[in-house]
Amino acid sequence: MVSMNSGSLKRMSARVQSVAHKLRWGIRSVGIAETIHGSARLMKLRLQHPKRSEVSLRSGPVLEFDYPSQSPPVLVMFGDFIDPEFSFLRQVSRPDWVVVDVGAAIGQFTIFAATLPCAVVHAYEPSGANIATLKRNIERNHVAGKVTVNQMALSNEDGSAVFETAEQTWMSQLSSAGSAGGEIVPVRTLTGELERSGISHLSVLKINVAGFEPKVLEGALPFLAEGRVDILVLLLGLPSLQWYERIASSGYRFFYYHPLEKKLYEIKSFDERSVLYHRPWPARHIIAIHSSAIAACITSGVEICCPLPTQNV
């Protein structure tokens, strides 16, 4: 019983810290007044509890979602894409970009990327429920000509697996055992899938797959080892630290971006403290840039700086 109580307290503490972190992050991005207005929008949504809703973002896109399973509370509350990598990609984007979104969910990153001056976005998502909403959002935002949707999971080996749909669909994951709520999906390595699709080079690769990033990175390593991706946007996670180090050995440099300063702060060590406590701006993702693409970022007005002293953000 003591162990259960201790575990519950830890989970509660983690949730409180996560909420506090997002509030600081949002206030810093959009200001107190907009955060207050966004809190009212979020409360109204919870009180009305519609089957489906949408959020109109200040930057233009409209995202539909099933409620509550696909609700994006950060977007509803703050009214736009506020992660620093969005600001960075806007700054450096080019019309010939080829973008891959692994873990596309309902299309937040896919729609963002498709509204940049890029050529094409390849979206990978296993969940049938998410795919249905993703396709609606693609049509709603008039970017169907730039987006290819692929219903599959990416991992470290080819095959098929049962994909378990969680109550919050973005937390769904592959399972070794079937269940009434699961669906069988193809599983591919990113390297093999890109080669089958005739894609020899990527401008941007975003990976956010609810903690399974190490397996996706393992499957992408042959592609990355040849420097065939310019920019990586990776969900932060302690299990991924060893993969960051391996990717760095293939010519990639790791950074966090400060959107107001337009500066990339470099991460040169891949231990927990170095990666998690040197963020100059609240961030859930880390950015890696191949050495061959650094010059293009600099000419786009982005400055590269040394790491900041330890921060707790």
Question: Which residue stretches of the chain are H helix?
Answer: 2-30, 32-48, 73-78, 84-92, 108-114, 128-140, 190-196, 213-225, 241-248, 272-276, 294-299
pLDDT reading at 2 higher than 50: no
More confident residue, 100 or 36: 100
Tell me how far apart the alpha carbons of residues 127 and 103 are, in angstroms, rounded to a whole number.
Answer: 9
Confidence band of 181 (pLDDT split at 50, 70, 90)? low
Domain 83-305: which CATH number of 1.10.10.10, 1.10.1370.30, 3.40.50.150, 3.30.930.10: 3.40.50.150
Q: What is the mean pLDDT of residues 89-102?
A: 97
The whole-model pTM stands at 0.90
pLDDT reading at 138 higher than 70: yes
Note the pLDDT tens digit of each residue in 217-266.
Answer: 999 999 999 999 999 999 999 999 999 999 999 999 999 999 999 999 99
Q: Which residues pair with 62 in a beta bridge?
A: 56
For residue 248, the one-letter residue type is A
> What's the pLDDT score for residue 26?
80
More confident residue, 35 or 243: 243
Q: What is the mean pLDDT of residues 124-150?
A: 97
Q: What is the mean pLDDT of residues 125-129?
A: 94
pLDDT reading at 311 higher than 70: no
Tell me how far apart the alpha carbons of residues 147 and 111 are, in angstroms, rounded to a whole number.
Answer: 9
pLDDT reading at 170 higher than 60: no
Q: SS3 for 241? A: helix
Q: What is the mean pLDDT of residues 199-223?
A: 96
Confidence band of 31 (pLDDT split at 50, 70, 90)? confident
> What's the pLDDT score for residue 1?
43
For residue 169, the one-letter residue type is T
For residue 8, the one-letter residue type is S
Q: Is the CA virtual torsion 296, 298, 301, 303 positive or negative?
A: positive
Domain coordinates of the chain in residue numbers? Answer: 16-80, 83-305
Tell me how far apart the alpha carbons of residues 60 and 146 are, in angstroms, rounded to a whole number.
Answer: 17
Give the whole-number percent of the chain exceeding pLDDT 70.
86
Q: What is the mean pLDDT of residues 143-163?
A: 95
- Per the prediction, the chain carries an average pLDDT of 89
